[in-house]
Structure 1
Amino acid sequence: MSETHTGGCLCGAVRFTVAGPLPGPDACHCTACRKHSGHYFASTDVPKAAVAIEGEDRVGWFQSSEKVRRGFCATCGSSLFWDPVFRDWIAIAMGAFDAPTGTRLAKHIFTADQGDYYDIADGLPQHER
């Protein structure tokens, strides 16, 4: 049996399945991710072809730059996706997955932009950009 992972938004209007393993997620501390998620955005990058979305018509998209759009549940507002539209992969919010995920946070990115209200002290690699 192949590995699959499921998840969804808070209200259940959007559900997704990922076929295959979840690579070690990163925690993005950039200002845009913090504003989108309410804290840093921990996500795993998976091939778009491996993702099936139920309730796709309930996903709202915000074009946050020329190259990236951010997906959320249009009903409950849950942050779900970070989609670099010209790439073949998509980032899915770790908090949206059903447990167990079988993965652990791998690194922190854009730490130069981290909020002033917390410290990063878990010993994982940190990248300013």
Structure 2
Amino acid sequence: MVILLLRNIGALLPCCEVNLVPKVVKIAFFAVYLAGMFLLVIFRGSKYDWTSQMGPAMDAASLEHSGNRQIFTLVVLAVICAAQSVVALKSPPLRQKLFSGLLIALACTLWWLLSFRFF
């Protein structure tokens, strides 16, 4: 209802462009993005990575079988991508859409690199 009202106001006032996503909402979505990226970095690897320091014969990958960290980081990635997709779809300037797309690509790349232990 509010979006329809804003669109009608924009049609009545062609000289003024109505922004459908207020700055506060954009800032909130970018805060979600930053928090999600922080979680991706914090939850990388395995909880048994410290075992390789005890002895080179112990392999941390052989100890962890649940994959819970992988699932959690995938859910965090989905939330990050959804938040930035909303900003990209609802923002009028092309610059904002490209920036949100770049942030999504960066998050996906970081998740892939961290999930498959390239770091």
Higher helix residue share: 2
Same fold (TM > 0.5): no
- TM-score, normalised to structure 2's length? 0.22
Higher Rg of the two aligned structures: 2
Give the structure with the higher percent strand. 1
